[in-house]
Amino acid sequence: MEKTHPYSSAEAIAVELQGIVRMFGGRTVIDGISLTIPRGELFGLLGPSGSGKTTLIKLMTGIDRPDAGSVSMLGEPMPQLKMLQVFGYMAQSDALYNELTGKQNLEFFGALFGLTGQLLKNRIHAAASLVDLTDHLNKQTAAYSGGMKRRLSLAIALLHEPRLLVLDEPTVGIDPVLRQSIWKELSALSRQGITIIVTTHVMDEAEKCDRLGLIRDGKLIAADTPEAIMQKAGCSTIEEAFIALGSGGGGEK
Amino acid sequence: MRIRALSIRIIRQFLRDKRTLALLFLAPLLILSLMKLVFDGQSVSPAIGMVDIPAVFTEKFEHLNAAITVYESPDSAHAALQAGELDAILQLSGGKPELMLEGSDPSINRAVLLLLQTAMQTGSGSAAPAITYLHGGPDMAAFDSFGPVLIGFFSFFFVFLLAGVSFLRERTSGTLERLLATPIKRYEIVIGYLAGFGIFTLLQASLIAWFSVDVLGLYMAGSIGYMLLINLLLSLTALTLGTLLSSFASSEFQIIQFIPLVIVPQAFFSGLFNLDAMNPWLQKLSSIMPLYYGADAMQGIMIRGESWGDFQIDVYVLIGFSLLFALLNVLALKKHRSM
């Protein structure tokens, strides 16, 4: 969307977290996490429910503000309003207006990102065909199945061609065939240079990521390629590695 | 066994929801106290202006607990009546007594007439006075008097609920979070809500105004345009207040709980009931209630045919309330996005 020039060194980093801490009512949810995600990486955040994945994502995107530490995205200090234009965000809940049709939902969020006219039409068409919803766009969202809602939600996140895509458990409630096609799409987007940060607790999905961050009790217990993590833990699967590293590293406070 | 399980579950849920619990026990007490304050205050003494009335007669009225002011000229008395300082003027014109009632409130009219009757009975038989009305007339029913207040009240009530619930749904369905992950500014959300709902509140205000005047035949002395304006402003106030308070509710049920706390007290102070009977320091409470200003302007326009100059203060205050609530809304949204 901006002029294409070779990325400066700062811009080669998509997201950088330095010692961030977030507390809710005296409880430490994120406990001193530092993490650097380079551009174009497909980064997976893996961790049990309640480990702080969603909070970490909200801190990365500037929706929430850390109590300590600093966050920067594409070289810009966060939180910053203009950066909201740069990334696409898909939350755990589908967050759709059920009274509207799929198309009306897309039109609404497209307009919020400043898309108008033919460009908006083209983007809606592109995003809808990506998630295989073109035939259902004129249906009221309330009549969508769970999987269709999830796909529409993903289409909305892709609408404004974000340079960074942040997806909070994108494949929950989606059947295996579609799950595979979504992951294929994510890999393709990642190859185009789009940075993707995705949370999951499905282990076979985790293996598809370039790099994994394992989170437990608000601490980052490992951040490496799936192979390296398995090697380090001396296990043959991510699942075993996660359990091994989790019990050894981050104990309860 | 299942019945026990179900009732225990309900008790547990109630104990968790402290606010509902408080409402269940405290709201009735609040409303009963308000009712006592409104209906059980000091007795109302009508304010009557006297022009050229013999002192014996004036004393008799004072004896009957009327607030008497003696005026030198009919003109100054008339001005005071116009300004709402008096409820009636009693004057002698050509040797005959004449009573002019302010007329806006049928219950006060009745009180003055009763007073006059009593004073006449005890006195020497003078001629029965000719009765005229500044506003309205002898046929004005009670509904004509509180109808304007009810119009304002119901617009306020429904818009408040609607706005509160739909903004709450935006939050609980996660769409607010998604909305806030776009470059939309917080004030844009508030203004967007105002504009979107504003169209419907405008339609609602027009429909209500037309229906009450043309179909129900409510007494209407002023301009319907002014009436629409006030109704719209009242709805905007309800809209901004509703969305603001929805930030402090976590379910539709909790929005409903705001009715006895926010809506009902306003009804008591809006002029449906005569506030003169209330403790003066309690009367001051009405100055923080948007509905009081809306109702005051509506009554002025519909019954007394007031023009812009007479009710413009109400307009400014309502705009002020809307702006204040909208601003607080923008601030409250900060809770959901740090920028």
Domains of chain B are 47-133 (3.40.1710.10), 142-335 (no CATH)
DSSP secondary structure letters along B88-148: EEEEEETTEEEEEE--S-HHHHHHHHHHHHHHHHHS--PPPPEEEESSS-TT--HHHHHHH
What the block records as the tokens of A80 is 């910053």
Q: How confident is the model at residue A118 (pLDDT cuts 50, 70, 90)?
A: very high
Of B245, B227, B204, the C-alpha closest to B314 is: B227
Residue B96: CB atoms within 10 A of its CB come to 12
Contact B184 A95 (CB under 8 A): no
Of the two residues A183 and A104, the one the predictor is more confident about is A104
- According to the model, what pLDDT value does residue B273 have? 76
Place of tokens 């319907």: B224
In chain A, what are the domain boundaries? Answer: 42-54+83-248
Closest CA to B100 of B118, B111, B113: B113
Q: What is the pLDDT of residues A18-33, one digit of tens each?
A: 999 999 888 999 999 9
Mean pLDDT of B189-218: 87
Q: Which CATH superfamily hosts domain A42-54+83-248?
A: P-loop containing nucleotide triphosphate hydrolases (3.40.50.300)
Answer whether B314's CB lies under 8 Å from B297's CB: yes
What is the predicted pLDDT for the residue at A6? Answer: 46
Q: What is the pLDDT of residue B122?
A: 62
Q: What is the pLDDT of residues B82-102, one digit of tens each?
A: 888 888 888 887 777 888 888
Kindly report the average pLDDT of chain B as a whole number: 85
pLDDT at A4 (0 to 100):
43
B8 or B122, higher pLDDT = B8
Using alpha carbons, select from B151, B336, B150, B321 the residue that is nearest to residue B246. Answer: B336
What is the per-residue pLDDT across B120-160, written as a single tens digit (0 to 9) for each?
A: 776 555 667 788 888 877 777 777 888 888 888 888 998 99
Cβ within 8 Å, pair A93-B173: yes
pLDDT of residue B27 exceeding 70: yes
pLDDT digits (tens, 9 = 90+) for B37-68: 777 666 677 888 888 888 877 787 787 778 88
| Whole-angstrom distance, CA of residue B152 vs CA of residue B227 | 10
Specify the higher pLDDT residue, B206 or B137.
B206
Chain B closest-CA separation from residue A245 CA (Å): 33
Nearest to B182 among A91, A93, A112 (CB): A112
Helix (H, G, I), strand (E, B) or coil at A103: helix
pLDDT for the residue numbered A2: 43
Q: Kindly give the residue spans of alpha helices, DSSP state H, lying in chain A.
A: 53-61, 102-112, 117-130, 146-158, 176-191, 203-206, 226-233, 238-248
**Average of per-residue pLDDT across A97-102:** 92
Residues pairing with B99 in the sheet: B90, B131
Name all contacts of B20-26 with Cβ < 8 Å and 24+ positions apart.
Answer: B20/B253, B20/B254, B20/B257, B23/B257, B23/B260, B23/B261
Structure-block tokens of residue B154: 């119901």
Out of A21-35, A168-182, B292-306, which region has the weakest mean confidence (pLDDT)? A168-182
Cα distances from A178 to residues A94, A130, A132, A133, in angstroms, run 16, 11, 9, 12
Mean pLDDT of B330-335: 90
Q: Count Cα atoms within 13 angstroms, Cβ side, for B78.
A: 8
Q: Which residue of B has its CA nearest to A153?
A: B178
User: In chain B, positions 146-205, which contact chain A (CB-CB < 8 Å)?
Assistant: 173-175, 177-185
β partners of residue A222? A214
Closest CA to B265 of B35, B17, B25: B35
DSSP string, A188-204: HHHHTT-EEEEEE--HH
Instruction: Identify the residue among A112, A152, A161 best suited for mutation to test binding to B, counting B beta carbons within 10 A and taking the highest.
Output: A112
For residues B165-180, average pLDDT: 89
Report the half-sphere exposure of B95 (CA within 13 A, side-chain side): 0
> Counting beta carbons within 10 angstroms of the beta carbon of residue B324, is it exposed (0 to 12), middle (13 to 18) or buried (19 or more)?
middle
ipTM above 0.85, yes or no: no
The Cα diameter of chain B in Å comes to 88
CA torsion through residues A107, A111, A117, A119, sign: negative
Count chain A–chain B contacts defined by CB atoms under 8 A. Answer: 53
The whole-angstrom separation of Cα B149 and Cα B151 is: 5
Examine the pLDDT at A251 and tell me if it is beyond 70. no
How many CA atoms lie less than 13 Å away from B186 in the CB half-sphere? 16
